[in-house]
A and B are shown apart, each in its own frame.
Chain A
Amino acid sequence: MTLAEHARVHGDLPHRTALELIESIERSGLRGRGGADFPTARKLRAVASRKRVSAVVVNGSETEPASAKDRLLLSRLPHLVLDGAVLAAEAVGAPEVIVKVGATAGGSLQALEGAVSVRADDPVPIQLVAAPEGYVAGEESAVVHYLNGGPELPTFVPPRPFERGYRGRPTLIQNPETLAQVALVARFGEHWYRELGTTADPGSALVTISGAVAAPGVYELAFGTPMTDLVDAAGGATEPLRALLVGGYFGTWVEASEAMRLRLAREDLRSVGCSLGSGVLIALGESACGLHESARVIDYLAQQSAGQCGPCTYGLPAIADAVGALADGAARDGDRDRVLRWGSEIRGRGACHHPDGAVRFVASAMTVFAEEIERHRSERCTALPAGLPVGGTTIRRAVATGRRR
């Protein structure tokens, strides 16, 4: 959308004080759309209350292989995202906006460059940064680490970016979709935002759905929408479904019939142990093998470890090997138990939450695909590959120098 189209479709940006904007965002109930689901007003206040804020960073990393919503927003509606970023900068007192995307995000980068070049009225400068990619490179501290001149790897927190981030100063980091919503709420108000969704979960979210559906893609859905409606919106299932992966590789598997009884609502999802995360959903058909696909994914997640912390660096590959053995029918006694034990031991012992997400994903696979595990002990798997994406960009890895026992 060009600047002219953007102005026509979305209208002019109204003038609001920082306090008015933050209060409006608070009343809207907007929460972060990067995966952590953190109340946006609270984050804005936390940074606004600090002195010498250094920047607002638009985190366009989008490292979940099956996610496409952020690149869609950045490439098609860059002005909406930039409006939100500039509004946020004014609200927290940041002197600049930095938009960070992955180095291969050509479409986004081009659209952003074009957008920035025609914007004349922004109160703060906007800088574009293309960084090396990798699953953990989108984590907030990894983004800050890179912007500060280091590798795109997570750091030990606290302090968190809102306290000490870019240039060692308080930094606001937000997902592009969150900032697009900020720009819309600034124009149309918190009541407009609350027209969709439910009281507990107001508003809408961008969801990327792929797998065994006829029309995979990015869809905007009101919170509270039944999962069946979402699958219908995506053209319907192309075959009977076995399971749904909710929340991408940082999420969890849910058995199909259970998944179809859910709505896109926090309480519903929490009741079956999952969360929407960054809105990635993958439908797995019965012709595929959830165990094999899960083995491929945990293999990828293990390979994507930053390599900085022992439990993750050594634990995830060990888990991946065992899950692979279970999938190949070559499991040794106790492999499944070891997978679960290592999972519970590794949790919380990395500098970031990469290992936590990985072990949670594996634990859900062990539960949901228990039948498959049993069957693979005696039968060869004849399922078709479902091709869950495991984009193979290798990031620069630190090597954890530990001793094996």
Chain B
Amino acid sequence: MSAQLRVNPIACEAHGLCAELLPELIRLDDWGYPIIDESEVPPDLLGLAWRAVDACPTLALLLEEDGKGTR
């Protein structure tokens, strides 16, 4: 089972919580917007990825497992 991280760039307002919670996969650009360095989430980071998705104030962070959308 594979899980892919994605950002809805229209909903994103650069709060930056995702990068704080998941620095292994997400960093911020010069304006505070997330760059997903590696969209494929390894199993050991899945829990943190879900936490990051839940923490996004604008529900802009998405985690799609096996091609199925979420949020």
Q: Taking beta carbons and an 8 Å cutoff, which residues of A are in contact with B?
A: 155-156, 308-312, 314-315, 318, 342, 345-346, 349-351, 398, 400-405
A–B complex contacts, Cβ < 8 Å, 7 sampled: A308-B9, A310-B32, A311-B9, A311-B31, A314-B31, A349-B35, A402-B13
The residue that B33 contacts in the complex, of A156, A351, A398, A402, with Cβ under 8 A, is A402
Which secondary structure dominates where chain A touches chain B? loop
| B28 surroundings in chain A (CB, below 8 A) | 405
| A342 surroundings in chain B (CB, below 8 A) | 30
Check B10 for interface membership: any CB of A closer than 8 A.
yes
Q: B35–A310 contact, CB under 8 A?
A: no
The chain B residue sitting closest to A400, CB to CB, is B13
Which secondary structure dominates where chain B touches chain A? loop
Q: Tell me the complex Cα distance, A405–B31, Å.
A: 5
The chain B residue sitting closest to A350, CB to CB, is B9
The residue that A403 contacts in the complex, of B10, B16, B35, with Cβ under 8 A, is B16
Q: B13–A401 contact, CB under 8 A?
A: yes
| B56 surroundings in chain A (CB, below 8 A) | none
The chain A residue sitting closest to B62, CB to CB, is A156
Q: Tell me the complex Cα distance, A402–B16, Å.
A: 10
Q: A310–B30 contact, CB under 8 A?
A: no
Q: A309–B9 contact, CB under 8 A?
A: yes
| A312 surroundings in chain B (CB, below 8 A) | 9
The residue that A156 contacts in the complex, of B10, B32, B35, with Cβ under 8 A, is B10
**Per-residue contact bits, chain B 1-16, to A (CB 8 Å; 1 contact, 0 not):** 0000001111111111
**Per-residue contact bits, chain B 28-53, to A (CB 8 Å; 1 contact, 0 not):** 11111101000000000000000000
- List the 10 shortest-distance A-B pairs measured between CB atoms, nearest first: A402-B14, A309-B9, A310-B33, A314-B31, A405-B32, A308-B10, A403-B32, A156-B8, A351-B10, A403-B14
Q: A310-B31, A405-B32 are in contact. Are A155 and B10 (CB under 8 A)?
A: yes
**Chain A nearest CB: distance from B30 CB in Å?**
7
| A156 surroundings in chain B (CB, below 8 A) | 8-11
**Chain B nearest CB: distance from A397 CB in Å?**
13
Q: A156-B8, A349-B7, A349-B9 are in contact. Are A315 and B29 (CB under 8 A)?
A: yes
Q: A310–B9 contact, CB under 8 A?
A: yes
**Chain A nearest CB: distance from B14 CB in Å?**
4
B10, B15, B28 — which one has the most chain A CB atoms within 10 A of its CB?
B10
| B7 surroundings in chain A (CB, below 8 A) | 349
| B30 surroundings in chain A (CB, below 8 A) | 314, 318, 342, 405
Q: Tell me the complex Cα distance, A244–B25, Å.
A: 40
| B31 surroundings in chain A (CB, below 8 A) | 310-311, 314-315, 402, 404-405
The chain A residue sitting closest to B7, CB to CB, is A349
The chain B residue sitting closest to A310, CB to CB, is B33
The residue that B35 contacts in the complex, of A309, A345, A405, with Cβ under 8 A, is A345
| A346 surroundings in chain B (CB, below 8 A) | 29
